[in-house]
Amino acid sequence: MKTVPLGEVASIARSTIKPDEIHDDTKYVGLEHIEKSSGKLRPSAAGDANLTSTKHRFSSSQILYGKLRPYLAKIAVPDFSGVCSTDILPISPGNDVDRSYLYHFLTQPTTVADVAGKTTGANLPRIKPEALTTLILPLPPLDEQRRIAAILDKADAIRQKRRQAITHLDTLTQSIFDEMFLTGQSWKTSTLDTMADIASGITKGRKTNGTALMQTPYLAVANVQDGYLDLTNVKQIDATAAEIERYKLLPGDLVLTEGGDPDKLGRGSVWDGEIESCIHQNHIFRVRLQPTSLFSPSFLSRYLSTTEAKKYFLKSAKQTTGIASINKTQLSKFPVPLVPIAEQTKFAHYQAILSRKIVASIEALSTADALFASLQSRAFQGEL
């Protein structure tokens, strides 16, 4: 199959616009508005974004490519025009390349890994536009590109439906919670540290001073989603016996992320002991309820995902470009409503039923993801 450098068939458009020239109703896309890996877009109105710096213009014929932390694969194909952060590169496909085909090439894992290896900057890695244009793109005839893109689009649509099913079930769980505890209710509160012990986890790359190590499974940020755990790919880490004992998760523990996209800050779920002797990464907080707390882990986990909780975390968080984080002190002072345990237990029953359905949907999504990855790999090797 013919191959060409990306720069021969596409260009990076960097048409800029000053903030005072942007109309309030113009759609604005920041890195936080592009969901990693899936390409899902949630733009805001420019008037609501409080824009203070120069932005890039983009059109519905381009691809939006997040150049900051490109390993997150924040890449999207907009169906609208607007303005975007200058940490997003608008890519204009030329006449010889199909936009959807190019999008699938850019989002395939091998390309994402290739780009990640070309970044500069240790703490805030970015891909330079010039480096991006050197990517080698397999280039079959346009008709063949469109055929490949159509197959990948259909496979991707199946994945999106699986994700939507998970979102729907989670939304239903939240609706039940809101009706029981938030709508028209007023509760006294107490801080989280009065009812739970809070700890961070093991640090990768730490010094162990020659102590004997054992491989043990550990939860990373990718495993901890908003309202559920994705355990389809749990990695191993070398740890000492003392570390395993210290960081081992117990059934009923809550696991919460310390950082990420602002809209996903403090996401988490309940650990039910799914994997024996599993520990957790330092970017995940472990919240262990005290025996005398009279609190249900299911209730507390769900309350931590409410709009009220998200507002608290966003207000307390330290924010850098597209990333927000909270520390142990801020989490410790989180206000929790003092709801009777009988009401919490009733909710836990409803949640258990829906959680089983969510687990089944996650397994179906994992199968769809594996199929899609196989198709992607074959497509760009000329085997599809």
Which pLDDT score, from 0 to 100, does residue 258 have? 87
* Predicted pLDDT of residue 25: 95
User: Can you tell me the distance from the alpha carbon of 276 to that of 287, in angstroms, rounded to the nearest whole number?
Assistant: 18
Per-residue model confidence as pLDDT tens digits over 169-210: 989 998 999 999 988 788 999 999 999 999 999 998 888 877
Strand partners of residue 235: 218
Q: Strand 27-29 relative to strand 82-84: parallel, antiparallel, unpaired?
A: parallel
Position 321 scores a pLDDT of 64
Least Cα distance to 55 among 46, 43, 63 occurs for 46
Phi/psi of residue 300, nearest 5 degrees: -65, -40
The model's pTM is 0.69
The H or E element containing residue 17 is strand 16-17
Closest CA to 348 of 180, 215, 203: 180
Phi-psi region of 112 (alpha: psi -120 to 50; beta: other; left: phi over 0): alpha
Residue ranges of the chain with per-residue pLDDT less than 70: 263-264, 321-322
123-128 own/partner pairs: CB under 8 Å, 24+ apart: 124/68, 124/69, 124/320, 124/321, 125/68, 125/69, 125/70, 125/71, 126/67, 126/68, 126/69, 126/70, 126/87, 127/67, 127/70, 128/67
Closest to 100 (Cα-Cα) out of 157, 49, 174, 15: 157
Angle at 160 between CA 370 and CA 150, to 5 degrees: 75
> In one letter, which amino acid is 373?
A
The stretches of 178-305 forming alpha helices (DSSP H) are 241-247, 297-303
Determine how many CB atoms are found less than 10 A away from the CB of residue 40.
12
The structural domains of the chain, ordered by start, are: 3-137 (3.90.220.20), 140-187+339-384 (1.10.287.1120), 191-336 (3.90.220.20)
Nearest to 384 by CA among 138, 159, 161: 138
Q: What is the pLDDT of residues 284-316, one digit of tens each?
A: 999 999 988 889 998 999 898 888 888 898 888
Are 351 and 298 a contacting pair, CB within 8 Å?
yes
